Amino acid sequence: MKTGKRRKDSHKGDYGHLLILGGSPGLTGAVCLAGEASLRSGCGLVTIGVPEGLNDIIEIKLTEVMSLPLPQTEQRTFSDKAIKPVAGFITNNTDAVLIGPGISTERRETRKFVEEIVRNTKKPLVIDADAINIISLNPAVLKKNTNRNIILTPHPGEMSHLTGLTINEIQRKREKTAEEFAKENNVIVVLKGHRTVVTDGKTTYINLTGNPGMATAGSGDVLAGIIGGLLAQGDTPFESARDGVFLHGLAGDLAAKETGERYLIASDIISHLPSAFGYSE
């Protein structure tokens, strides 16, 4: 994990550029939380790519994050016409990509967009939320990408979609399920929940930070943003996933001491990230 110390002659470009792809009507908060979390994790530049009809919302809600308006369907989700400009942006501008927060699974064009980005992106990639549900319809997409720098962040329900196992089966053998899927698909799996499992199929980390107050809307988006931010800064996929999970839980623990578990919300986790990084450095 990168330390908080920076060279005196450094600039924002030295600390990574993360592209976040997500958002749909009613779910713009997901990409906003992810964007703020990645910046608070030390990422130098963050761009949020959204359907063009939602771009004004992103620009109003966020100040430090840049936006990239993209072709959309009539329902204001990603159109397959967004594939080409996103591919060019990834190649020319980014160090890592996060796809999925609030992206929607409703439209065929949006599903095609997600599959093409996952299949062809060669930069380090985090697949989260609705993008996981889309990939679960055609898991072979993962194997068609020779990129070995892919992280998936499923909760047990999403893991059920990926594997065909029931949630109860997954919860009974969390480590084994995550390890087998990671090994079979050459990815890092972050199986979220109590004692989150991080594994590449060979090495496995069980996280001990976090609390029940973090079972709140947007918490997963914050985690994805932290992991993506670390990945863009040059940490390995396994390091980014492991350290991101630890810091996310630690920030949640620090927040719960102030708010109480019952009243904790996702933005509280973001506001306590600097303290969490400080504890771990």
Q: Which helix (H) or strand (E) holds 204?
A: strand 204-206
- Evaluate if residue 118 carries a pLDDT over 70: yes
Question: Over the stretch 133-161, which tens digit does the pLDDT of each residue have?
Answer: 999 999 889 888 787 899 999 999 999 99
User: Is residue 79, in this structure, part of any structural domain at all?
Assistant: yes
Q: Which residue bears the tokens 């969490």?
A: 276
Instruction: Name the domain count of the chain.
Output: 1
User: Is residue 8, in this structure, part of any structural domain at all?
Assistant: no
Query: What pLDDT sits at residue 160?
Result: 97
User: Is residue 6, in this structure, part of any structural domain at all?
Assistant: no
pTM for the predicted model, two decimal places: 0.96
- Mean pLDDT in residue range 167-187: 97
User: Is residue 212, in this structure, part of any structural domain at all?
Assistant: yes
pLDDT band at 4 (very low <50, low <70, confident <90, very high): low
Question: Over the stretch 233-263, which tens digit does the pLDDT of each residue have?
Answer: 999 999 999 999 999 999 999 999 999 999 9
Q: What CA–CA distance (Å, rounded) separates 250 from 228? A: 17
User: Is residue 7, in this structure, part of any structural domain at all?
Assistant: no
User: Which among 279, 17, 253, 245 has a CA at the least distance from the CA of 151?
Assistant: 245
User: Could you give the 3-state DSSP secondary structure of residue 15?
Assistant: helix
The CATH number assigned to the domain holding 125 equals 3.40.1190.20
User: Is residue 218, in this structure, part of any structural domain at all?
Assistant: yes
Pairing between β-strand 204-206 and β-strand 197-199 as defined by DSSP bridges: antiparallel
Q: What CA–CA distance (Å, rounded) separates 77 from 51? A: 6
Question: Over the stretch 8-50, which tens digit does the pLDDT of each residue have?
Answer: 888 777 789 999 999 999 999 999 999 999 999 999 999 999 9
Name residue 96's beta-bridge partners.
18
User: Is residue 92, in this structure, part of any structural domain at all?
Assistant: yes
User: Is residue 269, in this structure, part of any structural domain at all?
Assistant: yes
Domain, as residue range, for 251: 13-275
User: Which among 67, 35, 42, 30 has a CA at the least distance from the CA of 230?
Assistant: 42
In the chain, the amino acid numbered 69 is P
- The strands making up 45-51's β-sheet, listed across from edge to edge, are 66-70, 45-51, 17-21, 96-99, 125-127, 150-152, 188-191, 197-199, 204-206
